[in-house]
Structure 1
């Protein structure tokens, strides 16, 4: 039976933007904001491009809607990521060790902070803050464990 194989390596492009504020905590926070914000904005653009392709046309209104959605999604996810990265870094500095527990605590703090902000803005109940903290901790811990597997 014929056999073929693929030999080579696949690498992802790496884009690094270095902003030095003179404070490591702020550097980490800004880096997380920019990287995840860019990913979220790109995802929103891809989603809107798909919708435009399905419609077969794009109007000025659709284009403006796409730009607004990209900015909103980029700012929202960038803010959450910036808070998470900053919290995880801060926990690492306070604890003096680098392990999965930093991700859990950082995720819980991020979930609580963002949950509190969203609940305050939306006048939701306070239980949502606890649920968001648990969700943030679970997601961050799972991501950290997956990171160790690869």
Structure 2
């Protein structure tokens, strides 16, 4: 039975956290969930902090709303990222090669899955699959440039 480990390191300006479940697919999926979920939660906090500073007051209700929004955004975008990373890794394993096509496949499948879970419009699902594939492919190409 695989052991679960938690390890992390903190060095400026990069924070790296890795959870070892003993399975590369699960490792990448959880890592994607944690990283993007944290970014989404931080964005929600920053947006609400700006709103509080602009209006000059905060209430218990606004604070609770902000906390719920932070958790909801983090969970949603973390899940989307986890699905994408898992599908990209699965594509890599099935195809036996590591290239930009895996990002395109993973992005398209993630876009279609997220869209299908939220609506039943077939045209919207296809458009979201195309968008997901295009965004993932563009991000992969940008990684090659940097």
Q: State how far apart, in whole Å, the 2-side matches of 1:125 and 1:93 are.
A: 31
Whose strand fraction is larger, Structure 1's or Structure 2's?
2
Match of 2:30 in 1: 30
Partner of 2:96: 96
Give the aligned partner of residue 141 of structure 1: 137
**In the TM superposition, what whole-angstrom CA distance separates every residue of 1:48-71 from its partner, at most 9, and x where no partner exists?**
000000010111111001101100
Q: What is the distance in 2 between the residues matched to 1:12 and 1:100?
A: 30
Contiguous gaps of at least 5 residues in structure 1 = 1-10
Question: Could you say which residue in structure 1 is the equivalent of 2:4?
Answer: none
Mapping 1:50-129, distance limit 5 Å = 50-119=50-119, 124-129=120-125
Query: Residue 12 of structure 1: CA displacement?
Result: 5.7
- What does residue 41 of structure 1 align with? 41
- Give the Cα separation in 2 of the matches to 1:54 and 1:132: 35
The structure whose Rg is larger is 1
**RMSD value over aligned CA atoms?**
1.2
Name the residue aligned to 1:5.
Answer: none
- CA apart distance, 1:23: 1.2
**Structure 2: runs of 5+ lacking an equivalent:** 1-10
Please state how far the C-alpha of 1:21 moved relative to its aligned partner.
1.6
In the alignment, what sits opposite 1:6? none
Q: Deviations over 1:71-108 (max 9, x none)?
A: 01001100100000111111011111111111001101
The runs of 4+ residues in structure 1 deviating greater than 3 Å are none
Give the drift of 1:127.
1.5
The size of the alignment, in residue pairs, is 136
TM-score, normalised with respect to structure 2:
0.89
